[in-house]
A and B are shown apart, each in its own frame.
Chain A
Amino acid sequence: MLTPTKGIAPDRALLAVGAQILLALDQPLTVSQAWARFKEQRARLGHHSPVPFEWFVLGLDILYALGTVELRRDLLVPTRSEDAAPTLR
C-alpha cells in the first residue's frame, strides 16, 4: 500500500501519492484545491491509473503521520522538517 505491490501500481503507492500531493502543495491550499491540483499533477506526470478521493485522503493521512502536512484553519499546509513534531519514543 505504501510501497508498490503486485496490485498497486508504482504511481498509486501511497508514498508516491504523498509525494505527488507535496508537489502540488507549493502553498497552503484547501483540501478540494489540493485534490484538484493533485489530479492535474498526476495528469502532468502521465499517471493515468485512477486515484479516488479516498486514496488521496489516505495519502494526506500518511503525510500528516510523517509530520510533513498539517491542517491549519482548513488549509493544508506543508511543514518543513524543523516544524515537525519530536520523534515518538
Chain B
Amino acid sequence: MLRRLSADHGSFRTVTFRPGINLLVADTTETSRETDSRNGTGKSSLVELLHFLLGAPAGKKSLTSRRALQKITFALTLDWPGDGRVTVQRQGCDPGFVRLDPDVRHDSGGLFDVAGPAVIPTAEWNRLVEQTLFGLGLDHPGISGRTMLSFLMRRIAAKAFNDAVRTFPQQSEAEATANLAYLLGLDWRLAAEFRELAARESTRRQLRKAVDDPVWGRIVGSVADLRGQIALAENEVSRLKDQISSFRVVPAYEELKNRADDINRRIRAIPNEDITDRRNLEDLQKSVSEAADPDTSYLERAYQELGVTLGRQVRQRFDDVQAFHASVVRNRRRYLMDEMNTIQQRLEARRREREQLGEELASVLKALEEGGALEALTALQQALAQKQASVDALKHRYEAAQALESSARQITAKRAELQEAMAADLDERQTQTREAILLFAEYARRLYGPEHEAYLAIQSGTNSLKITPFIDRGDSRGIGNMVIFCLDLTVAVIARRHGRGPDFLVHDSHLFDGVDDRQIAAALTLGAEVAEEEGMQYIVSLNSDDLSKAVQRGFDVEDRIIEPRLTDGSEEGGLFGLRF
C-alpha cells in the first residue's frame, strides 16, 4: 500500500492514500477557460512522482529535473512487507541516491534495535523493490521491477496507453510479454528467451546489412570471397615455411661478405702491381743487356780526364779502378738477375695468389649464394608469423561469415523450438492461464455486459509469447482504454494473489478519456470492488466532469475522494502549488 506522498516544499500538497479505491480529483473552476483544460494540475505528475520515488531513472527531461522542482525532496511512505512502513526520499538534483527511513536492507546480521535512516544508491533501491514488492530473485534476465511498475502505473509521458501489452510504443513484444508473463505466473524465462532471440535476430540483420554494404562488407566479407583469400594466404604461408625449412644459416655471414669484398679488391689490385713489376723487369732486362757489354774505353778516358783535372786527388791506380769497375759490373749483373728473379717470383706468387683468391672468392660466393644471414632467416620467420596471423584473422572472419549465414537457420530453428516449448509450457500451466483468462473475461463482462465477446488470448507466437486482450465492441470509442483497464486489473490482481507484485494499481485520468459514461462508472465501481476484495489499493486520478458522469451513472463516491482536491483555478490549485 502507498500511504503518503509529500515534499519539503511549502506549497506542495501532500497526498494521503487509503486502502481500496482512491480518487484524486481535478476540478474545473468557473474561471478556467476552455483552453486551460485541466492539464498542469498535477494528475499525471502524481504518477511521475510515484515512479520517481520508486527508483525510475531521472533524465534531464524528466519532471523532477526541472529547475523549479529539482531542489525539492520528495518523499513516499509505503507499506513494506516485514518492516511495517518505509519512507523513501529522493531529489531531482541528486537522483543517484535515495534516503530510506528506516533502513530496510536486511543484513545477515539480523537483529537491530532500531534501524535508522540510510542513504543508498538508487540502483540498490531498485533491487530492494524488485525483491520485496515483486519477489524477484537476484538473477532475472529479461524482466525488471521497473518495467512491471510501468504496467501497474502506466505513464502518459511514455505513451503507455497506446497499447495494452506495452509500457511504451517502441518496447519489443518479447520484453513486454516476458514481464507480463512473470506477473501472470507463466514461464517468464521462456518468454525472455524470445527477447534474446530478437536481439540476436536484429544483430544478424544489421550484420547482414553490413555485409551487403560496400564498405562494411570488407570487415566481414562473404564466405565465398573469404574462402579464396584464405586459400591464397595459406599458400603463401606454406611457401614461406618451405623457404625457412630449406634455409641454411651461414655463420658470420657479414664477415664472409666483407671477405668477398676484400678478395675482390685484392684481385683487382694485383694487375696494377703486376704492371709496375713488369715495367721494372723490362728496365732490369734492359740494364742487364746494357751492362752485359761494358764499355771500358770510357773508363780509360774518364780516368785520364780525372788525372788531368783532379790529378792530385786521384787516390786509386787505374788497375784498381778497372777491377772495381769490373766487379761492380759483374755484381751488378748478379744483382740485376737476383732482382729479376725476385720480381719474377713476385709475379709468379701473384699469379698463384690470384688463382687461389679466385677459388676462394668462388667458394665464398657460393656459400653466400646457398645460405643467408641469420637476420634474413629471422626476417623470413617474422613474415611467416605475420602471414600466419593474417590467415587466422581471415579464418575468424570466415567463421563469422559462416555463422552469419547459418545463424538465420539457427535462429529459425531456435524460434521453432522456443515456440514449441512455450506452447507445451502453456498447456501445462492451464491453471494459471485459466485464472487470468477468467478474470479478464469477468471484468470485461462487468463493463460491457455478457453479450460482447471478450477474451484474453495467451498463446505461443513466433516472435514472443502472445498475450492478446480483446473486447469486441465494434465502433465504441475508448474501447482500447477499457481493454487496458481490464488487463491491468487482471495482471495486478493475479500478481498480488501469488505474491509476485505489489498491492497497488495506479491509473491516470487519461485512461478514461473518450470512454462512455456507463463504462467509466462501471470501471470505477469494479475497481473499488476488486480493491476491496483483494485487499488492494486502486489509485485513480480523475477529471471532475468524468467523475460527475460516473456519479450520475450510479457510482458511489462516498469516502473515495482523497485530499487534495486539485484545481486549475489558481496557481496554488495544482499538486505542486506552483506553476513551472
Q: Is A87 an interface residue (CB 8 A)?
A: yes
Which residues from B are CB-within-8-Å of A7?
A: none
Which residues from A are CB-within-8-Å of B327?
A: 71
- Which of chain A's residues has its CB closest to B312's CB? A87
In the bound assembly, the distance between CA atoms of A14 and B308 in angstroms comes to 14
Fill in one digit per residue for B304-335: 1 if any A CB lies within 8 Å of its CB, else 0: 01100110111111101100110111011001
Category for how many chain B residues contact A: 20 to 34
Q: Is B580 an interface residue (CB 8 A)?
A: no
Q: Is B303 an interface residue (CB 8 A)?
A: yes
Do B329 and A57 touch (CB < 8 A)? Answer: yes
Interface 9-residue window, one of B256-264, B290-298, B544-552? B290-298
Question: In the complex, how many residue pairs between chain A and chain B have their CB atoms under 8 Å apart?
Answer: 90
In the bound assembly, the distance between CA atoms of A9 and B295 in angstroms comes to 20
CB within 8 Å for A1 and B305 given contacts A67-B316, A84-B315: yes
Smallest beta-carbon distance A82→chain B, Å: 13
Do A57 and B325 touch (CB < 8 A)? Answer: yes
Selected from A3, A54, A61, A85, the residue in CB contact (under 8 A) with B315 is: A85
Selected from A14, A58, A65, A74, the residue in CB contact (under 8 A) with B316 is: A65
CB within 8 Å for A3 and B309 given contacts A54-B290, A88-B314, A88-B315: yes
CB within 8 Å for A65 and B331 given contacts A57-B294, A88-B315: no
Selected from B291, B299, B309, B336, the residue in CB contact (under 8 A) with A58 is: B299
- Which of chain A's residues has its CB closest to B315's CB? A67
Do B303 and A57 touch (CB < 8 A)? Answer: no
Q: Is B302 an interface residue (CB 8 A)?
A: yes
Q: Is A52 an interface residue (CB 8 A)?
A: yes
Smallest beta-carbon distance A50→chain B, Å: 12
Selected from B299, B316, B328, the residue in CB contact (under 8 A) with A31 is: B328
- Which of chain A's residues has its CB closest to B311's CB? A88
In the bound assembly, the distance between CA atoms of A88 and B317 in angstroms comes to 8
Which residues from B are CB-within-8-Å of A53?
A: 287, 290-291, 332
Do B309 and A61 touch (CB < 8 A)? Answer: no
Q: Is A43 an interface residue (CB 8 A)?
A: no
Which residues from B are CB-within-8-Å of A19?
A: none
Do B305 and A2 touch (CB < 8 A)? Answer: yes
Which residues from A are CB-within-8-Å of B339?
A: 32
Q: Is B301 an interface residue (CB 8 A)?
A: yes
Fill in one digit per residue for A73-86: 1 if any B CB lies within 8 Å of its CB, else 0: 01000000000111
Interface residues of B (CB under 8 A from A): 287, 290-291, 294-295, 298-299, 301-303, 305-306, 309-310, 312-318, 320-321, 324-325, 327-329, 331-332, 335-336, 338-339
Some 21 contacts from A to B, beta carbons below 8 A apart, are: A1-B298, A1-B301, A2-B309, A30-B331, A30-B335, A31-B331, A32-B332, A35-B332, A53-B332, A54-B295, A58-B299, A61-B328, A65-B315, A65-B318, A66-B306, A66-B310, A66-B313, A71-B328, A86-B315, A87-B312, A87-B315
Other contacts beyond A32-B332, A65-B320, A71-B327: 17, CB < 8 A: A1-B302, A2-B310, A14-B302, A32-B336, A53-B287, A53-B332, A54-B294, A54-B298, A57-B291, A57-B294, A57-B329, A57-B332, A60-B328, A61-B325, A61-B328, A71-B331, A85-B316
